[in-house]
Structure 1
Amino acid sequence: MDFLLEYSMFFLKALTIVLAIGAVLLMGVMAAVKPGNRKGELTFDNLSEEHQALVEDLHQGMLDKKAFKKWQKQQKAVDSSSQSRLFVVDFHGSMDAHEVEALREEVTAVLAMATKDDEVLVRLESGGGVVHGYGLAASQLDRLRQQEIPLTVAVDKVAASGGYMMACIANKIIAAPFAIVGSIGVVAQLPNFHKLLKKNHVDVEMFTAGEYKRTVTVFGENTDKGRAKFQHELEETHLLFKDFVQKHRPVLDIQQVATGEHWFGYQAFELKLVDELLTSDDYVLKQMQQRQVFLVKYQLKKRLSERMGLAAAATLNSLWQQANRLMVWR
């Protein structure tokens, strides 16, 4: 019995290694193949109908048959054709803001059908990231403002730095009481290994054309002049950030709030960084009383290499768990 357990554990570990090598080779081959257009799927989910079905199910479960029929008769028929609409878009931003690829498709779809009587709600969650990525994301939301379609941004958790750059585009910003808001500042950091390399007698040579093609580096020796230039660039970026926020939210005391600090919803409301303390859930429920609410979502299709990678990862995880169980049984 001990021999069988030992052999099973060895076999599973060997199989894990073989599958891992195979997965790496497969992903390498797929990466070498020129990818085609990554088409996605655009969906419109009727949140109003889903909510109404939920309410009806709850009443049916809580009321007797006679009372439930009476409740049904009291419900007025909703004529969706005569109502305006609220289009809900979710944006959960990462450091590189790659989610803007889906956002642009969602905004384009909304613009194709929305009117000035409709409204767009963006449920925003982001701690910020690269300037150019969030600048593009903010520009996508500005497309709605340019067409005079009312835009509301809801912050349930965090909209800081680049996230707030996006939020300030809106006609109205709502936030949960303890959501993190603000951080109107710019930060950059990088390690420098020059002293370590010098200690080990390793030289790194860099050749540039243009005085400020490189200001600070990871491996070379940084100069005071290069540091000063880099700091100047950060200050210029911060100034552009402040001007951008002030333009879209003139009610702000920009010198007070553009210190790089962040605030909770309660504080942000007092500083006029947000217009109302309210969660996105409550806002959507209120809007359902007067509008048809639709969730707009664009989902990119995963490449074959990505699907294979996920499948391989799941297989490896399963095999590793089995190997661990064998070790425990023993």
Structure 2
Amino acid sequence: MEFLVDYAGFLLKLVSIALVIGFLLVILSSGKRKAQPGSLSVTKLNESYETMKSELDRQLLDKKVLKNLDKEKKKKDKQEKKALKKGHHTVEDSPKKRVYVVDFDGDIKASAVETMREEITAILSVAKSQDEVVVRLESGGGVVHGYGLAASQLQRIREAQIPLTICVDKVAASGGYMMACVADKIIAAPFAILGSIGVVAQIPNVHRLLDKSLIDVELHTAGRYKRTLTMLGENTEEGREKFKQDLEDTHGLFKRFVSGQRPQLDIEAIATGDTWYGSEALENHLVDSVMTSDAYLVSQYDKADVIQIAYKQPKGMAERLGLSFFSALEQKATVWLSKLTQTRGY
């Protein structure tokens, strides 16, 4: 038993030393390592769809029907090649429309904007005016600056005069809807949640608890409104009024942005912080049509090359050293604290 105790103590020391060395390597590498470029994944969704369809045909249809379908396909391909030659185009130079598909899964910090900005830059380097960008958007909103940047990234597509379509299958609320309204066309699933054009802020205050415990907190600022409300100090009525005014100003900015993008909206009736399901959102002009993103993309397969673009960030040193658990723990803690103390969030 004494041997086992000693051995367990030795293992604990070994693990502790390994963790310390790992953290030191992360700190050292973060200061010296040059930023590594990410990678771009390009997937032609037409091919996946055709492969799936062909497999089902092979399993469900008899040989005679399959043979006829194969003949029809070859005939159609031959006709398309002739049409291209008459138009003085080669197959490689086909003027066929391209639909670029990007996914945005938003958290409270709009962290996905870091990959979306790279994807948009890549698309704009090759896209033509006949093409289209489809963003499958899912977000319940978050911090103002994060979603403001995300909306600005989508505006780059509009400024390049490339048609932009936003598809919402589940939710595009608050900051998520601010992004969606940039699009030329918004498509939502029947039960997707849209709207929530409002601003929210909450700050816990433990001043009375500290006061009972005879704990003083000193806060020194230069500038009358450098800090309006605090978590630890005593809040004043003047500070509360300024904080509320800041929220109203931000809400006004939000409303002006949305109404500028979608002038058909009755912005005063819509910007109450309320939400609507897809079908109701259509009646209130929050969206342009009701269908799932899958249905919309399938409708494009025959007339366009549908291409999914995904940018992958390079792995950090923590992940490469197997310390991703600590990174995930840090992210969870950040989200929790943001929810607890968030200010001026869309």
User: With structure 2 as the length reference, what TM-score do the two structures score?
Assistant: 0.83
Q: Secondary structure at the match of 1:123?
A: strand
Q: 2:236 pairs with 195, 198, 223, which one?
A: 223
Are 2:198 and 1:200 equivalent residues in the alignment? no
Deviation (angstroms), 1:99: 1.1
User: Structure 2 CA distance, aligned partners of 1:166 and 1:52?
Assistant: 32
Task: Give yes or no for contact 1:20–1:312 (8 Å, CA) kept in 2.
Answer: no
Task: Give yes or no for contact 2:318–2:324 (8 Å, CA) kept in 1.
Answer: no
Number of the residue aligned with 1:104? 117
Q: Deviations along 1:35-65, whole A, 9 cap, x unmatched?
A: 5314211121100111111111111111233
User: With structure 1 as the length reference, what TM-score do the two structures score?
Assistant: 0.87
Deviation (angstroms), 1:312: 6.5
Number of the residue aligned with 1:278? 291
Q: Secondary structure at the match of 1:177?
A: coil
Q: Secondary structure at the match of 1:121?
A: strand
User: Structure 2 CA distance, aligned partners of 1:312 and 1:243?
Assistant: 42
User: Structure 2 CA distance, aligned partners of 1:13 and 1:180?
Assistant: 54
Number of the residue aligned with 1:45? 43
Deviation (angstroms), 1:73: 1.4
User: Structure 1 CA distance, aligned partners of 2:188 and 2:13?
Assistant: 49
Are 2:66 and 1:68 equivalent residues in the alignment? yes
Give the % identical residues: 50
Deviation (angstroms), 1:306: 2.3
Deviation (angstroms), 1:20: 7.0
Aligned ranges 1:26-175 → 2 under 5 Å:
26-27=22-23, 29-33=25-29, 34=31, 35-75=33-73, 76-77=76-77, 81-175=94-188
Are 2:248 and 1:250 equivalent residues in the alignment? no
Evaluate the alpha carbon distance shift between residue 310 and residue 67 of structure 1 in structure 2; reply closer, same or farther with a 3 A threshold.
farther
Deviation (angstroms), 1:89: 0.5
Q: Which moved more, 1:71-80 or 1:130-139?
A: 71-80
Evaluate the alpha carbon distance shift between residue 15 and residue 159 of structure 1 in structure 2; reply closer, same or farther with a 3 A threshold.
farther
Evaluate the alpha carbon distance shift between residue 14 and residue 47 of structure 1 in structure 2; reply closer, same or farther with a 3 A threshold.
farther
Evaluate the alpha carbon distance shift between residue 275 and residue 20 of structure 1 in structure 2; reply closer, same or farther with a 3 A threshold.
farther
Evaluate the alpha carbon distance shift between residue 256 and residue 19 of structure 1 in structure 2; reply closer, same or farther with a 3 A threshold.
farther
Paired amino acid for 1:217? T
Paired amino acid for 1:31? I
Number of the residue aligned with 2:83? none
Q: What is the Cα-based RMSD across aligned positions, in Å? A: 2.3
Q: Deviations along 1:233-264, whole A, 9 cap, x unmatched?
A: 01000000000000000000001110011111
Higher relative contact order (CA 8 A, sep 6+): 1
Task: Give yes or no for contact 1:19–1:312 (8 Å, CA) kept in 2.
Answer: no
Evaluate the alpha carbon distance shift between residue 20 and residue 269 of structure 1 in structure 2; reply closer, same or farther with a 3 A threshold.
farther
Paired amino acid for 1:103? M
Any gaps of 5 or more consecutive residues in structure 2? 81-90, 327-346
Number of the residue aligned with 1:320? none
User: Structure 1 CA distance, aligned partners of 2:9 and 2:131?
Assistant: 58
Q: 1:238 pairs with 248, 251, 256, which one?
A: 251
Q: Deviations along 1:102-140, whole A, 9 cap, x unmatched?
A: 111111111111111000100000011110110010001
Paired amino acid for 2:46? S
User: Structure 1 CA distance, aligned partners of 2:17 and 2:189?
Assistant: 47
Evaluate the alpha carbon distance shift between residue 62 and residue 108 of structure 1 in structure 2; reply closer, same or farther with a 3 A threshold.
same
Paired amino acid for 1:140? Q
Task: Give yes or no for contact 2:168–2:293 (8 Å, CA) kept in 1.
Answer: yes
Paired amino acid for 1:49? E
